[in-house]
Amino acid sequence: MVEVRANNAEQDEAVEMIQAKYQGEPMELSFNAAYLQDVLGVIQGDLQMHMSQSNASVLVNQLNDEFHQYVIMPMRI
């Protein structure tokens, strides 16, 4: 499972647990929600997120689609 958290300046918070296949050591990343929504808005179906470090870019692509790839930079908090 992957835990997804969202919060804002007014201290509102949401938490979702999403089923996922994950390899490697646990890591924590923070994204600008608008950038993440932009990518998720064009992907239809299951996706892959390739990440190596918590401060490195994340490569996102839809499963079985080798023509489209997206890069999201994490934020430092």
Span 2-72 CATH architecture: Roll (3.10)
Task: Convert the pLDDT of each residue in 54-75 to its tens digit.
Answer: 899 999 999 999 899 999 999 9
First to last CA, the chain: 23
Tell whether the model's pLDDT for residue 7 goes beyond 90. no
The residue extents of the domains of the chain are 2-72
CA angle 72, 74, 75 (to 5 degrees): 135
In this prediction the pTM is 0.81
Radius of gyration (Cα) for the chain, nearest Å?
A: 13
CA distance 69 to 4: 22
